[in-house]
């Protein structure tokens, strides 16, 4: 069995913030701006949108999927046929059977008002409840075999667990399309230490880089006297002091190239062979991020950035469920 056509562009757009008040300060009044973000992205070829059935806080749970579905229905213009709505289904402790995963996929599709294009397992339960994982992965495969999704992907898996799942899916004739991990100049662990890029290349899987801006730190707009609110501010405060040399290097390269720091940070991910999915909360951010595609950093600039990244003692915190 082969996967139906999914178009994977050079870069995508993350939508975790769309509906999340707790971490991202989302307000419903942002919706028209978010629709502009969607339209701008699609118009410029950024046609992959990443969401999750756990996105949205409190009563807003599922909001990101609902908004994406609405924006998709409303969109009129170029690249419509290339749009890929990718959601992640969470292996909640109460989702225990393969049917539970199929039902979760159907619920996401209902919120979006259309079928999911790419369905991804949000994280691995290998570290704490391995038997649950195989049931849920079987359900993910069922969604594909029943023609309810065009492709299957994983998230927060390391090389060892990825290989096991790949083998199991191969036995069913299903090719895993994508793996997403936290990958940025401040989060090189999954690629450098777990070797996920090499494994993906060997298995024919495309790597997606989530949080490529390290939740905004790599844009250079935050400092010890200008921190984002809440938990994000706390995390920034821990990381910023040790990241100054890296940020200075990013700034110098950005100036030299007449790009912004965000564009250079995103382009670094592209140069590493990953598809970055930076989050954007307004059209200005989206326009800037779109300016990260269509060009490449020089080899020397990538090496310089790698050198700075390797000196980081306090990187971004990894997802606790990231498997080995």
Q: Does 19 bind ligand NAP (CB under 6 A)?
A: no
The least CB distance from residue 320 to ligand NAP, in Å, is: 10
Q: Rule CB under 6 A: choose which of 108, 156, 159, 188 binds ligand NAP.
A: 156
How many Å apart are CA 233 and CA 213, to the nearest integer? 15
In the complex with ligand NAP, the residue whose CB is nearer, 141 or 228, is 228
The two three-digit tokens of residue 77, written as one number: 């213009």
159 contributes a contact to ligand NAP by CB under 6 A? no
- State in angstroms the smallest separation of the CB of 277 from ligand NAP: 5
**Least separation in angstroms between CB 1 and ligand NAP:** 26
**φ and ψ at residue 207, rounded to 5 degrees:** -90, 130
Min separation Cβ 145 and ligand NAP, Å: 24
Q: Is 55 among the catalytic positions?
A: yes
229 binds ligand NAP per the rule CB under 6 A: no
Of positions 152, 213, 254, 293, contacts ligand NAP by CB under 6 A: 213
54 binds ligand NAP (CB under 6 A): no
Which residue among 144, 157, 210, 268 contacts ligand NAP (CB under 6 A)?
210
Q: Which of 41, 280, 297, 309 binds ligand NAP (CB under 6 A)?
A: 280
Cβ proximity to ligand NAP, 100 vs 280, nearer residue: 280
Answer yes or no whether residue 108 interacts with ligand NAP by CB under 6 A: no
Residue from 282, 194, 184 nearest 239 by CA: 184
Spell out the residues 6+ positions from residue 248 whose beta carbon is closer than 8 angstroms to its own.
none
| By the rule CB under 6 A, 285 interacts with ligand NAP | yes
Task: State in angstroms the smallest separation of the CB of 183 from ligand NAP.
Answer: 10
Size of the site for ligand NAP (CB under 6 A): 30
Q: In 3-state terms, what secondary structure has residue 184?
A: strand
125 near ligand NAP, judged by CB under 6 A? no
At 96, list the tokens.
Answer: 């225990």
Q: Binder to ligand NAP among 11, 15, 151, 178 (CB under 6 A)?
A: 15
Binding site for ligand NAP (CB under 6 A): 14-17, 24, 50, 88, 155-156, 180, 210-216, 219, 221, 228, 262, 277-281, 285, 288-289, 319
Q: Which residues are catalytic?
A: 55
């Amino acid at each position: 069995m082969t996967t139906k056509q999914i178009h994977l562009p050079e870069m995508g757009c993350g939508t975790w913030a769309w509906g999340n008040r707790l971490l991202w300060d989302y307000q419903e009044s942002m919706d028209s701006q978010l629709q502009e973000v969607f339209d701008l992205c699609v118009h410029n070829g950024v046609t992959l949108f990443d969401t999750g059935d756990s996105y949205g806080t409190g009563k807003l749970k599922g909001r990101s999927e609902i908004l994406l579905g609405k924006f998709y229905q409303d969109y009129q213009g170029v690249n419509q046929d290339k749009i890929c709505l990718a959601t992640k289904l969470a292996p909640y402790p109460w989702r225990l059977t393969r049917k539970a995963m199929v039902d979760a996929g159907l619920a996401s599709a209902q919120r979006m008002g259309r079928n999911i294009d790419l369905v991804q397992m949000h994280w691995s339960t290998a570290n704490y409840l391995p038997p649950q994982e195989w049931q849920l992965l079987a359900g993910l495969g069922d969604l594909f075999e029943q023609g309810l999704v065009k492709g299957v992907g994983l998230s927060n898996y390391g090389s060892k667990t990825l290989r096991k799942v790949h083998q199991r899916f191969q036995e069913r004739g299903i090719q895993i399309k994508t793996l997403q991990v936290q990958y940025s100049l401040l989060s090189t662990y999954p690629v450098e230490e777990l070797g996920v890029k090499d494994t993906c290349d060997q298995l024919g899987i495309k790597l997606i880089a989530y949080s490529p801006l390290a939740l905004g730190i790599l844009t250079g707009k935050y400092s010890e006297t200008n921190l984002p609110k809440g938990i994000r501010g706390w995390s920034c405060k821990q990381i910023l002091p040790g990241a100054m040399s890296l940020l200075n290097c990013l700034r110098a390269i950005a100036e030299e190239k007449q790009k912004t720091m965000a564009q250079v940070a995103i382009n670094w991910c592209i140069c590493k062979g990953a598809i970055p999915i930076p989050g954007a909360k307004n059209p200005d951010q989206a326009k800037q991020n779109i300016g990260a595609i269509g060009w490449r950093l020089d080899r020397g600039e990538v090496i310089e950035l790698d050198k700075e990244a390797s000196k980081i003692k306090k990187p971004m915190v990894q997802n606790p469920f990231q498997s080995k």
